[in-house]
Structure 1
Amino acid sequence: MKNIEFFEDVSALQLGSRPFYSANHDEIMAGYTTDVYFVKTRDLLRENGTLDVPVVAEIFSKEAGVFAGLSEVLSLLRGKGVEVYSLDEGMSFSPKEVVCRIHGLYSAFGMYETVILGFLAASSGWATAARECVRAANGRPVLCFGARHVHPAVAPVMERVALDAGGCAGASCILGAKMAKAEPQGTIPHAAVLIVGDTVKTALLYNSILPERESRIILVDTFKDEAEESLLVARALKKDLHGVRLDTPGERGGVSPALVREVRWRLDVEGFNHVKIVVSGGLNPERIKLLLHAGADVFGVGSYIAHGTPRDMTMDLKMIDGKPIAKRGRLPGIEHNPRLRRFL
């Protein structure tokens, strides 16, 4: 695959038919996902004799957040002769704090500004949303169920970030979990219960076919009252049952604190204290706090993490050929941040 070096390379680029519209890894590395004006800049600086000028670039966000996306930035820049100083993934940052600094020839990394900022902006947004949920859960597990809310090309990126930087205990997306060196977690969908036609029968089948290492967590909101279904399943599986999952739709009032308290009470009265209550469905930090207080044990969060607002990352050149410089409104020269450490 030919790398983009000149503006004429852009004009000559021809794409064949493709089943999906996402960029593949080679296309990202070749510069196909950059903004075209950075390619025009290369031609201009080449003509001026300054394309290979040494520069220092600093990256910051206008908003506070949790830093993520660095591993992909390093994969992009490795072998290009640059030095990278950065926060660690998972570290919180303040507004305008320098989160990453790159030293090197402009020709080595300037064209990738779009890609670098995209890696950091999206990943930091997901990590921030995940961390908010994890804090709200106060030590109870939060699982990322967000893959269905984003393009499948980036679903594993999001779920890997939710675990490694956001602190989630697990993720449902197979590739995302594996990238975080974890095993994917999840029960079964309502479709399985609907097709089988009975929650208890589904639970017994699930228990019989599942490897012993897998937790037996059963959906209990498909056909009957959640408290009734919980007891029927608990009586059928007894000690084999690890948990029941409440995913009551909004049309039925959603998962409420009162529902969680009732299910917990009825399970305890019949001696099923070991059965955990897993809740999901439109959760956010505020709802997690309410449901935690009501007795929920595990929280499956999808849209809140997936729709986490990207952090608006900016890259500024702060040194050119050893001289401090900046555009108006920014401070020229390196802004020292003792929390940065060298990665490349």
Structure 2
Amino acid sequence: MTEFDIVPSEAIASGNATDAYFDRTVEALAHAERNPEVVAEVTASQFSTGDWHVLAGIKDTAQLFEGRDLTVHALREGQLFDGGPVMRIEGQYLEFCRLETALLGFLSHATGMATAALETRRAAPNAEVLSFGSRHVHPSIAAMLERCALVGGLDGISNVAAGEVINHKAGGTMPHALIISFGRGEQEAAWQAFDEAAEPDVPRVALCDTYSDEVEETIRAVEAVDELESVRIDTTGSRRGNFEHILQELRWKLDKRGHEDVGIFASGGIDPEAMRELRTVADGFGVGSYISNADPLDFALDIVEVDGEPAAKRGKLDGDKAVYRTPDGSHEIRPATADPPVDGDPLMRPLVEDGNLVRTFSIDDAAARAAADAEAIGFEAGSN
């Protein structure tokens, strides 16, 4: 059997998942018998920009550094930032030179996804929002995607194997394939088979747009399945027309028939703009590609100090820095030797000290942190 094209964990941990020019760097420094003590920082922008992002990927990054003779400080998982360093690495350069590629990959991709997840969460704060995006990414990173979705505040995930990795149970009900397997006109048989086969803790949600009008199928579903919790509408975009109007009509006709307790769940190409339009009529959303296809944030790692002296390439700020959250919610960057702002909360916290991991990781804590920061700065999709 052909192996999947997946770089193994051992290669990442050893530093082999690196760009080739770092191998050349190691060879050149070893040849010159040079291995300076450095301070390096990871940044996406040098100054505060007002363009806020949710830091993610910290857990994997910490594991990359664990056991190495390094000291690392970083913002916490779920922290919002709009510039300046998110991580500081101190030690001999050759101790982490070949780790840079994996380090930036861990942070860049996850931060983009977690930020998109928070945007969807804030677009419909009172709705249930679930992650449906794992089918859009390479399965080897599904756990990373689902973790980022939860850090951003989503209520649930869909990928089973990813859930096992991050210790969070996946959920889901039925695809169109189940309905089609029973055939046109036999939707009741499909809904009832699901109801009879699913474990009691699985929500009774009927997919109601496979063969005919959404309202027609919904009325049939509520009559076919006792105690139906909600219906999911996933109509193909080319057939939707005015999606908000469809859901408004659906809500009206459910209520008129005494089914006020049956919720409406919308999925299929859902983004924050659609959620803001539909949140008064939809009780929940499944969000996929908006999160899974989010652009990675363009982090860079730069040496800012060599053997105790400030050093940086052109366009980068040299010297060790500190970052603070101020009482008004701002993110402030200062030289590490400067006085902190009044009542400023320092955001750089120990992550690895002399190779020892000194931080624990909780998805719930990270999600709470992201939510609190978002509230403090008024974060919304499209407001960055």
TM-score by length of 1: 0.90
Match of 1:194 among 180, 183, 193: 180
Tell me which residue corresponds to 1:21. 5
Q: Could you say if the C-alpha distance between residues 152 and 255 of structure 1 is closer, same or farther in structure 2, counting changes exceeding 3 Å?
A: farther
C-alpha separation between the residues in 2 aligned to 1:254 and 1:242?
26
Tell me which residue corresponds to 1:262. 249
Question: What SS does the corresponding residue of 1:319 show, helix, strand or coil?
Answer: strand
Tell me which residue corresponds to 1:145. 132
Point out the more displaced range, 229-238 or 253-262: 253-262
Task: List structure 1 segments (4+ residues) > 2 angstroms apart after TM superposition.
Answer: 175-181
Point out the more displaced range, 330-339 or 214-223: 330-339
Question: Residues 222-233 of structure 1 correspond to what in structure 2 (within 5 A)?
Answer: 222-233=210-221
Tell me which residue corresponds to 1:213. 201
Point out the more displaced range, 168-177 or 212-221: 168-177
Tell me which residue corresponds to 1:9. none
RMSD of Structure 2 on Structure 1 (CA): 1.5
C-alpha separation between the residues in 2 aligned to 1:213 and 1:253?
31
Tell me which residue corresponds to 1:285. 272
Tell me which residue corresponds to 2:15. 31
Match of 1:342 among 329, 335, 350: 350
C-alpha separation between the residues in 2 aligned to 1:36 and 1:57?
20
C-alpha separation between the residues in 1 aligned to 2:126 and 2:310?
46
C-alpha separation between the residues in 2 aligned to 1:269 and 1:306?
38
Tell me which residue corresponds to 1:203. 191
Cα shift readout 1:207-257 (whole Å, capped 9, x = no counterpart): 111111110111000112111111111122232x11100000022126711
Q: Which amino acid aligns with 1:268?
A: D
Alignment coverage as a number of residue pairs: 323
C-alpha separation between the residues in 2 aligned to 1:341 and 1:136?
30
C-alpha separation between the residues in 1 aligned to 2:139 and 2:235?
26
Cα shift readout 1:261-286 (whole Å, capped 9, x = no counterpart): 11111111111111111100001100
Q: State the 1:111 CA deviation.
A: 1.1
Question: What SS does the corresponding residue of 2:266 show, helix, strand or coil?
Answer: strand
Q: Which amino acid aligns with 1:189?
A: P
Structure 1's unaligned 5+ residue stretches are 1-16
Question: What SS does the corresponding residue of 1:102 show, helix, strand or coil?
Answer: strand
Question: What SS does the corresponding residue of 2:138 show, helix, strand or coil?
Answer: coil
Match of 2:314 among 328, 333, 340: 328
Q: Which amino acid aligns with 2:55?
A: F
C-alpha separation between the residues in 2 aligned to 1:300 and 1:252?
18
Q: State the 1:192 CA deviation.
A: 0.8
Q: Which amino acid aligns with 1:57?
A: A
Determine if contact 1:254/1:281 at 8 Å carries over to the other structure: no
Q: State the 1:18 CA deviation.
A: 4.7
Cα shift readout 1:126-170 (whole Å, capped 9, x = no counterpart): 10111111110123121111111111111221112111x211111
Tell me which residue corresponds to 2:94. 107
Instruction: Choose between structure 1 and 2 for higher RCO, CA contacts under 8 A separated by at least 6 residues.
Output: 2
Match of 1:177 among 150, 158, 163: 163
C-alpha separation between the residues in 1 aligned to 2:252 and 2:8?
51
Question: What SS does the corresponding residue of 2:110 show, helix, strand or coil?
Answer: helix
Point out the more displaced range, 179-188 or 256-265: 179-188
Q: Which amino acid aligns with 2:173?
A: T
Question: What SS does the corresponding residue of 1:272 show, helix, strand or coil?
Answer: coil
Question: What SS does the corresponding residue of 1:245 show, helix, strand or coil?
Answer: strand
Q: Could you say if the C-alpha distance between residues 254 and 42 of structure 1 is closer, same or farther in structure 2, counting changes exceeding 3 Å?
A: farther
Determine if contact 1:177/1:184 at 8 Å carries over to the other structure: yes
Cα shift readout 1:53-77 (whole Å, capped 9, x = no counterpart): 2211111113631110010001111
Match of 1:55 among 20, 38, 46: 38
C-alpha separation between the residues in 2 aligned to 1:178 and 1:97?
35
Tell me which residue corresponds to 2:360. none
C-alpha separation between the residues in 2 aligned to 1:254 and 1:323?
63
Matched, 1:69 2:77: no
Question: What SS does the corresponding residue of 2:295 show, helix, strand or coil?
Answer: coil
C-alpha separation between the residues in 2 aligned to 1:255 and 1:61?
39
Tell me which residue corresponds to 1:319. 305
Question: What SS does the corresponding residue of 2:43 show, helix, strand or coil?
Answer: strand
C-alpha separation between the residues in 1 aligned to 2:239 and 2:314?
55
TM-score by length of 2: 0.81
